[in-house]
Amino acid sequence: MVTVTATQGNASLAKMLHILELFSEAEPVWSTAAILEALETSRSTGYRYIKTLHEAGLLNAVRNGYYTLGPRIIEMDLQIRLTDPLLLASHGVLEGLVDRIGHSALLCTAFRDAVLCVGECRAPSSPENRFSRGQRRPLFQGAVSKVILAHLPHHRLKAVYARQREEIEKAGLGSTWSAFRATLGEMKKDGYALTVGEFNPGVYSVAAPILTDQKTALGSVGVAWDENERRDVAVEHAVLAVKQAAKTISERLKEAQGS
């Protein structure tokens, strides 16, 4: 677990928010006692934090003294779904991709030093997978991630490299800054990324960047399919379709920006 770094001065604020980080798929329900222990604070303070979060709707009391993440989160996610320009601009496009390629499509965006899936459209045949909205993915594996990485703004990229030099080398993206930039430059020139079995074994993935006017990435669109699935889809065809989809979304975003 990554501890949220409270820069200075507002330790209690960050500490309170840290409670939200405790909840996971494996441990979705926390007792007050467990929260208090995890916080390493006095009973009073812990209860106060819990109460505040509860009043804000970010925590939900289930049975006696047990909490889960709260309903306000569900509400706020809807608020985002209704207003996120990226998501709105992709309406219909993902569906179109699925129709054309026959495999599941994904919409992603950068989040910290990772990539977050914000939209998806599953192919009819496709099994329930782990690529739903809200899924976090590593920044250095998989086509949707790599293609975003390649189109990150200058300084963002530099900051990422400083923090993740080791991971970047491990992912085979270059052992020096210039090698790293060269690898990404190649991808940038192609305008798409293709990976095989990086994030999930045996899974093909093709992705293209959604770009601003300044040619930096707002996100990416991609399709993925298992190597054991029907292979009659030419990779080139997928590349074209994905690039087309990305372009459509990019242009819609520019329009929305203008209005």
Partner DNA sequence: GAAAGATATCCCGCTATTTGGGATATAGTC
Partner DNA sequence: GACTATATCCCAAATAGCGGGATATCTTTC
Q: Which stretches of the chain bind DNA, using CB under 7 A?
A: 7-13, 15, 32, 41-45, 47-48, 50-51, 54, 61, 63-65, 153, 155-156, 159, 214
Minimum CB distance to a copy of itself smaller for 70 or for 194? 70
196 is in the binding site of which of a copy of itself, DNA, none (Cβ under 5 to 8 A by kind)? none
DSSP string, 207-232: EEEEE-TTS-EEEEEEEEEETTS---
Q: In sequence order, what E strands does the chain have?
A: 30-31, 59-61, 66-69, 104-111, 114-121, 136-138, 193-196, 203-211, 217-226
Helix axes 177-190, 154-170, angle to 10 degrees: 110
Length of the chain, in residues:
259
CA distance 65 to 232: 55
Closest CA to 97 of 200, 203, 207, 209: 207
Min dist. Cβ of residue 250 to a copy of itself (A): 16
240 is in the binding site of which of a copy of itself, DNA, none (Cβ under 5 to 8 A by kind)? none
Minimum CB distance to a copy of itself smaller for 91 or for 237? 91
Min dist. Cβ of residue 253 to DNA (A): 15
Minimum CB distance to a copy of itself smaller for 132 or for 178? 132
179 is in the binding site of which of a copy of itself, DNA, none (Cβ under 5 to 8 A by kind)? none
Cβ-contact 190, 243 below 8 angstroms: no
244 is in the binding site of which of DNA, a copy of itself, none (Cβ under 5 to 8 A by kind)? none
Contact residues for a copy of itself, defined by CB under 8 A: 4-7, 9-10, 12-14, 16-17, 20, 23-25, 28, 48-49, 51-53, 55-58, 68-69, 71-84, 109, 111-112, 116, 118, 132-136
134 is in the binding site of which of DNA, a copy of itself, none (Cβ under 5 to 8 A by kind)? a copy of itself
Minimum CB distance to DNA smaller for 21 or for 77? 21
159 is in the binding site of which of DNA, a copy of itself, none (Cβ under 5 to 8 A by kind)? DNA
Neighbour count for residue 95 (Cβ, 10 Å): 12
Closest CA to 207 of 225, 196, 187, 223: 223
